[in-house]
Amino acid sequence: MSMFSDYNFIFGFLSTIVGIYLFGVCSGDHVPASFVFGDSLVDVGNNNYIVSLSKANYVPNGIDFLPYRQPTGRYTNGRTIADLLGRELGLDDSAPPYLAPTTSGAVVLQGVNYASGGGGILNETGKIFGGRINLDAQLDNFANTRQDIISSIGTPETLKLLRKSFFSVTMGSNDFINNYLTPIVSEAERKFVSPEMFVDAMISKYRLQLTRLYNLDARKIVVVNVGPIGCIPYQRDLNPSAGDDCVAFPNQLAVSFNERLKSLITELNANLEGASFVYADVYRIVLDIIQNFSSYGFESASSACCHAAGRFGGLIPCGPPSKVCADRSKYIFWDAYHPSDASNMIIATRLMDGDTNDIFPMNIRQLAQA
């Protein structure tokens, strides 16, 4: 076969593959791609490639991540919520980390994960970790991916692809935990920035970021609110005076932000033509799991499975010296900050098929079919 014929064969083969793929996009049979933005709750390994104190690419993380049971950079024992939702939406593989060298070419046509442990809505959030990819930078990275897709399949087909794809944004927890609530920020300093002012700054910034995502042709966008951060083992151990209860002030901050966020979602849907922003009430779901843990099959609602120090295992990050519980399915929390695979499965299921109390104005299955 001549070199010219080789090129014709390769070009024809690739054209056929792209054509079949785009037929799936246009036919609406399934969600063609998943693009994930967020923090350590959905990071699948981006922080492996940057200089940062926030990493999870070491044991015992990934102990239940099949088939290899090895750490990947996910901050949990198994799968993230984004992994589970992607599979339920019909995607064979999880969206790969943007910074992985293999995330290029045709791979990006099924989605990319831009999330970064320590990242936040505000650019200064997470600076105690050094390297992290905040939401502004994640959006820059998506803009690069979008341009790569345009170069590959052209502008019209890229718009079809993106406007049928699933986008999720899981941000805000770090802006409280690793910014406003960090122990190095004294109460005296917080008097100059009231909780209302801080939440105001977050919402103002988030409005610009979510609008930018829309302007980059995202249409089906799930925005996850901030969970009950006062209930995580880290906050419980940091505030022993709360006893066996969740810590009130962090949860009050989360509730305040979430109320404003739900209003922002309504505003964006009203003002941006063709937009389908969805508000995912993970705060409500996780609090329900904590308050009714035994009915969900859990034995511990407050302690970390990966435990090194502190009454609740919240004082030292999960790592090789940590003790790991024998049955991870019995713990809501994997480590000081993050849910276990078992918790993530419950959360993902309720976001996928829940009613408007869990996810508003529609659930993810309805969004995918819209």
Distance of alpha carbon 357 from alpha carbon 81, whole angstroms: 19
Residues 6+ apart with CB under 8 A from 58: 71, 319, 320
Q: Are 332 and 303 in contact (CB under 8 A)?
A: no
- Check 43, 175, 237, 335 and give the catalytic one: 335
Question: Please, is 349 exposed, middle or buried when counting C-beta atoms within 10 Å of its C-beta (0-12, 13-18, 19+)?
Answer: middle
CA-to-CA distance for 93 and 276, rounded, in angstroms? Answer: 24
CB half-sphere exposure, 289, CA atoms < 13 A: 31
Q: Where are the beta strands (DSSP E) in the chain?
A: 34-38, 111-113, 166-170, 220-224, 276-280, 300-304, 306-307, 323-324, 331-333, 359-360
Angle between helices 135-153 and 3-27 (to 10 degrees): 120
Catalytic residue among 116, 165, 168, 338: 338
Token pair of 300 as six digits: 């511990």
What one-character-per-residue DSSP string does 133-194 give? --HHHHHHHHHHHHHHHHHHH-HHHHHHHHHHSEEEEE-SHHHIIIIIT-TTS-HHHHTTS-
335 catalytic per annotation: yes
Active-site residue 30, yes or no? no
Q: What's the rounded Cα separation, in Å, for the pair 96 and 301?
A: 31
Q: Is 322 a catalytic residue?
A: no
Indicate the pairing of strand 331-333 with strand 300-304: parallel
Cβ pair 38, 170 in contact under 8 A: yes
Query: How far is Cα of residue 235 from the mean position of the Cα atoms in its chain?
Result: 20
Catalytic position from the list 34, 40, 168, 322: 40
Q: Tokens 């695979």 correspond to what residue?
A: 341
Residue 116 has, within 13 A of its CA and on its CB side, a CA count of 32
- Residues known to be catalytic: 40, 335, 338
